[in-house]
Structure 1
Amino acid sequence: MHSRLFVIALLTVLCIGCSAKEDKRSFKPVSEFTKAEKMDEKEFWKIIDYSYNAAKGNLDLQNEIIVKKLSAYAPEEIINFEIILCKKLIEANNYKILAANKIIDAYVSDDGFLYFRLWLISLGRETFEQTIKNPDYLAGVVDNGVVPDFEHLLYVSTQAYKNKTGKQQEDDSFPRDVAFNKGLNYDLGGPAITGNDWKEDELPKLYPKLWEKFN
């Protein structure tokens, strides 16, 4: 009986150790979040960075944090958050980012690439901007086994807008509709992907650090 309990305890310790190693990213300490009145790009990234560091890799928790923080803003500022998000999704619609998606996920699809770009945004301003310049930057940020998908980020503005206004039935006053009517379509029918196309056998040379880590 004692030996059995010892084995169970040992396995528990080992499992805890494994779980701790699943995410080796370094997260910055979070201080009290203080919102500004206006939603500009700086404020947008402040929310994303805060949620990323506070959630420590838990995307469900990060989603909750973003919705909670965003719900404190005026309705027009929640709309501005959505507008900035759409602009960032369009900015990341690039063959370089598609290559990172291919290397990490081993396959690409229209929906998958959209969710990948949302995930990239969720990693924060520095990671997003450095990855736009060179996807190899991600090799030093994320680990094997990561699931690069943050579909829920598509809906944070809608939920926050509902929380703030009390309106539950979506209409053309909602953030996504406003952004779409401004020409910010990040999905099918939106702007074509930019940059230089690649062939799969070129990826090891194009992004050697990312290729080595995920292959």
Structure 2
Amino acid sequence: MKPIVSSFEEAVKDIRDGATILVGGFGLVGIPENLILALKKSGVKDLTVISNNCGVDDWGLGLLLKNNQIKKMIGSYVGENKEFERQVMSGELEVELVPQGTLAERMRAGGAGIPAFYTPAGVGTQIAEGREVRSFNGKEYLLEKAITADFGLVRAAMADTIGNLMYNKTARNFNPIVAAAGEVTIAEVEEFVKPGELSPEYIHTPSIYVQRLIVGKQEKRIERLTTK
């Protein structure tokens, strides 16, 4: 049985200043929104955050950004956040932009214990400047290092009390690889079931990757509302 904590504040209490955290989600889909809110309340600062993007100005990781709690952001897309742009232009925020597929593979490699790999993405661009490039079968590849973090924050639709997780449709996105690459993975879930109630073929993250569980209601905000 995995520890099931009673409050989101308790779930993140050991995330200290200067920690490195991986956060699941894509846009606002599948983000651990209550864990992010608890981090905002905690006031923890100088965080290095690794996620596909940094939320929007008033929700998700954008809340930590607006509160000046993020020192460095590693991600692949930052176009929905004006505060992000302001902090980058003013020199307040350090940013490492990574091609989306490379970012996903760096996380996956970290969770699998693979220290580095070669990819064609980025060869011949500014990303490759000062980096190792090797040729395989007549084609050049760029060396990329794996990503791991002190903590991984994920959101799941369902979990059993052993810690097996199931994600809902596209909310699966980055969450499984974040769960694997975090040294301590904290899962925010919408519903608990008993061991054995999750069919094995629907378990997306095995319990071995999960260290802490908490259940909570989601707002599930829409990132960009389009009406006809």
User: Taking structure 2 as the reference length, what is the TM-score of the superposition?
Assistant: 0.26
Higher relative contact order (CA closer than 8 Å, sequence separation 6+): 1
User: Taking structure 1 as the reference length, what is the TM-score of the superposition?
Assistant: 0.28
More helix by share: 1
More strand by share: 2
